[in-house]
Amino acid sequence: MSKLFESVKVGNLELKNHLVVCPMGFVKDIDGGISERQRHYLVERAKGGFGLIYPSTHFISNRFEPSQANTLEGWGHGSRLALAVEQVHQYGAKFAVQLSLGLGRVSIVDPFTPPKSASTCTSFWFPDLTCDPYTKEEIDWLVTRFGYSASIAKNAGADVVEIHAYGGYLIDQFMSAIWNHREDEYGGSLENRLRIVFELRQSVWDQCGKDFPVAIKVTPDHAFEGGRTLEEGIEMVKLLDDGGFTYIHLDKGAYECWYNAVTTAYQPEGSQLYIAKAVKEAGVKTPLMVQGKLDDPRVAESVLDDGLAELVGLGHATLADPHWALKVKQGNEDDIVPCIGCNECLYHELIASFSTCAVNPRTGAETDYPILPALEKLKILVIGGGPGGMEAAITAADRGLEVELWEKESKLGGNLLAAGAPPFKFNTMRYLEYLKTQIAKRDINIKLGKEATLETVKEYSPDAVILASGAEPICPFVDNIGCKTVIQAIDFLIDKPEIGKDVAVIGAGLVGCEVAIMLEREGKNVTLIEMLDEILMTAELASNNDAWLKDTIVASNINVRTGAKLTSVSDNSIFLEHEGQEKEIACSNVILAVGFKSDQSLLNALQEDNIKVFPIGDQKGSGKIIDAVHQGFHTVRLLEDLINIY
């Protein structure tokens, strides 16, 4: 059996295995308590075989800033927490509650109200605001209140509380010289800056007993200029080592480089493990918990094999597949739905939308969207083998429908083939392989190289058509655009033709930026051309993904030209309108990444012929994976009702 599934004891906390569901933001009740939806979400991951489950972090109070997470202030919060704890325990998992003093300088109130922080420092979101420092009396109140909230968690049945002292949040602001400029006993030396941590731990012990497990999450490497260096981070962890903590939960980054803390599609696997290695080599004896793109079972297993940590934390991987642990334990690794790092989960949370996952439509709706057997065996035709079409076909087969999938190309994947082509998008390609595996395991008739027309659809005579035929790349109307040196980005990514040394990428949306980075890393001289005033202006993506792309391009040798319009192409150059002048840029190849447009002719023809057709993805106006997958899933889940409605 894998070491991951051996029981483990850290301090006096015993777990059935080494696998942990990390704390992540989630929909809370109106007063900050554990919501019913959140409880179902947690229980599903306990069913999935994990040994320790965290809900999202809990604020101890809303006195000094509005809570942007769960809150644990009183018995009403505790009673709902207790129900979640009891149900998680029923599956043999333990329950951890991460307690926070708040966000401090990264709190979002409004552009006029200064947040409170460890000392006078700049507000992250509103740089014109200077934070108000907490007074000594307020700190005393917070410390006492922290222990009280811990007692609520303990009485609710929680097995461990964790001090939320990482990532540039309020407690970390006390711990970090870049934000803590105090001149009293809470500022100055590293020992003084850590004082609040030991006071919080003691407050928990005072109100819960010294045998109650207390963990701490810290960031030894802020990974941005001026933040905590790894060297200082090691010294910090060494001071915590004798502090009686049950385990130390390691993290990386801060809001200044949020993609290091909440990883994206672009980070390598095990991106934070170097921190654990350095901590272990420094002689730290307290058990460690690690995280950071450990969703490949082999990488997760290597953490234990290499002695880097005792606990392995998975975050977004458990949104994509709550049963990750169980599938690994049973040897069904090819059934794991892989996280693709798109951070749609984060994006939807930040725009106050419904918290969910791009590749798992049931995340956050675990009891809302059951897949029920079909009442009659309808004949379903899915047109298009991209992510939406494959998800629709899989769902149809799972419901017992008769399903056939047509794909006009010679292989499945659609635009996923291009999206997963850059080496740093390996998890997107992994998701494609997952979909293909699930298709192969089901009774789905696949026809590759099959063109769908009104006549061929009528000949097949389906009860319903799921139209997921995607979109085609746009070609701008400029002189000589048909030149042999011009390649559409999607064709370049899929076919990988040989190109010259100097490359112009037209369009700095998501595809154009990823192509530019890939080419620059391959040693090409890249010029990135964008008509708008900034890159990525039309891309709807999570802020940490956006920041990684922008920071990476700034740090690269890519020549970025914004506010520039392509006017013509020659065999060895392009011509632009830029800053009121015509400019020529020499290049051996031109990569077009100016967007996509769907062909609606088949949809219109099917509708005019009164065929029951349901467009999804690009055919419904969205080019995002999350929309295609969710629409494919829900259209088939509700198919009988939709047929009656339409």
> In the predicted model, is pLDDT for residue 328 greater than 70?
yes
Separation CA 366–CA 359 (nearest Å): 14
Look up residue 539 and give its two tokens.
Answer: 């891309």
Please tell me whether residues 316 and 208 are part of one structural domain: yes
Q: What is the mean pLDDT of residues 587-594?
A: 96
Asked if residue 92 is part of any domain, the answer here is yes
Please tell me whether residues 85 and 228 are part of one structural domain: yes
Q: What is the mean pLDDT of residues 578-589?
A: 92
Active site residue 169: yes
Please tell me whether residues 562 and 610 are part of one structural domain: no
Identify the domain boundary among 307, 330, 350: 350
Specify the 3-state DSSP secondary structure of 135: coil
Please tell me whether residues 313 and 459 are part of one structural domain: no
Specify the 3-state DSSP secondary structure of 524: coil
Asked if residue 118 is part of any domain, the answer here is no
CATH code (residue 426): 3.40.50.720
Q: What is the mean pLDDT of residues 120-140?
A: 97
Asked if residue 109 is part of any domain, the answer here is no
Separation CA 105–CA 132 (nearest Å): 9
Q: What is the mean pLDDT of residues 152-159?
A: 98
CATH code (residue 565): 3.50.50.60
- Beta 573-578 vs 564-569: how paired, if at all? antiparallel
Asked if residue 591 is part of any domain, the answer here is yes
- How far from chain centre, in Å, is Cα 293? 10
Q: What is the DSSP string of 398-430?
A: HTT-EEEEEESSSSS-TTHHHHT-SGGGHHHHH
Asked if residue 358 is part of any domain, the answer here is no
Query: Percent of the chain having pLDDT more than 90?
Result: 92
Which pLDDT belongs to residue 353? 65
Please tell me whether residues 239 and 305 are part of one structural domain: yes
Identify the domain boundary among 596, 617, 632: 596
Which pLDDT belongs to residue 25? 82
Which pLDDT belongs to residue 110? 87
Look up residue 620 and give its two tokens.
Answer: 């419904």
Please tell me whether residues 281 and 334 are part of one structural domain: yes
Look up residue 494 and give its two tokens.
Answer: 């899929």
pLDDT tens digits, 49-85: 999 999 999 999 999 998 778 999 998 999 999 999 9
Question: Which helix H or strand E contains 467, and what residues bound it?
Answer: strand 464-467
Which pLDDT belongs to residue 70? 92
Which pLDDT belongs to residue 352? 65
Asked if residue 539 is part of any domain, the answer here is yes
Separation CA 80–CA 96 (nearest Å): 15
Separation CA 646–CA 641 (nearest Å): 9
- CA nearest 40: which of 367, 526, 258? 367
Domain region containing 617: 379-471+598-645
> In the predicted model, is pLDDT for residue 416 greater than 90?
yes
| Residue pair 319/339 in contact by the 8 Å Cβ criterion | yes
Residue with tokens 């990974």: 223
Across 24-58, b (16+ Cβ under 10 Å) vs e yields bbbbbbeebbbbebbbbbbbbbbbbbbbbbbbbbb
Please tell me whether residues 184 and 222 are part of one structural domain: yes
- Beta 559-562 vs 444-448: how paired, if at all? unpaired
Asked if residue 613 is part of any domain, the answer here is yes
- Split into its structural domains, the chain has a count of 3
Please tell me whether residues 96 and 71 are part of one structural domain: yes
Please tell me whether residues 402 and 325 are part of one structural domain: no
pLDDT tens digits, 512-571: 999 999 999 999 999 999 999 999 999 999 999 999 999 999 999 999 999 999 999 998
Q: How many residues does this entry show for the chain?
A: 646
- CA nearest 190: which of 229, 232, 134, 142? 232
Predicted TM-score (pTM) of the model is 0.96
Radius of gyration, alpha carbons of the chain: 27
Q: Which candidate in 41, 169, 255, 431 is catalytic?
A: 169
pLDDT tens digits, 301-312: 999 999 999 999
CB atoms within 10 A of CB 285: 8
Diameter over CA atoms, the chain: 82
Q: Which amino acid is at 517?
A: I
Residue with tokens 């979109």: 471
Which DSSP state fits 347?
H
Asked if residue 121 is part of any domain, the answer here is no
Please tell me whether residues 342 and 399 are part of one structural domain: no
- CA nearest 558: which of 512, 608, 510, 603? 512
Taking all residues of the chain, what is their mean pLDDT, rounded to a whole number? 95
Look up residue 303 and give its two tokens.
Answer: 């953490």
| Residue pair 535/508 in contact by the 8 Å Cβ criterion | yes
HEC string of 245-256?
CCCEEEEECCHH
Please tell me whether residues 544 and 585 are part of one structural domain: yes
Q: What is the DSSP string of 49-114?
A: T-SEE--S-EES-SSSS--SSEE--SHHHHHHHHHHHHHHHTTT-EEEEEEE---GGG--S-TTSP
Specify the 3-state DSSP secondary structure of 325: helix
Please tell me whether residues 202 and 335 are part of one structural domain: yes
Question: Which helix H or strand E contains 488, and what residues bound it?
Answer: strand 486-488
> In the predicted model, is pLDDT for residue 1 greater than 60?
no
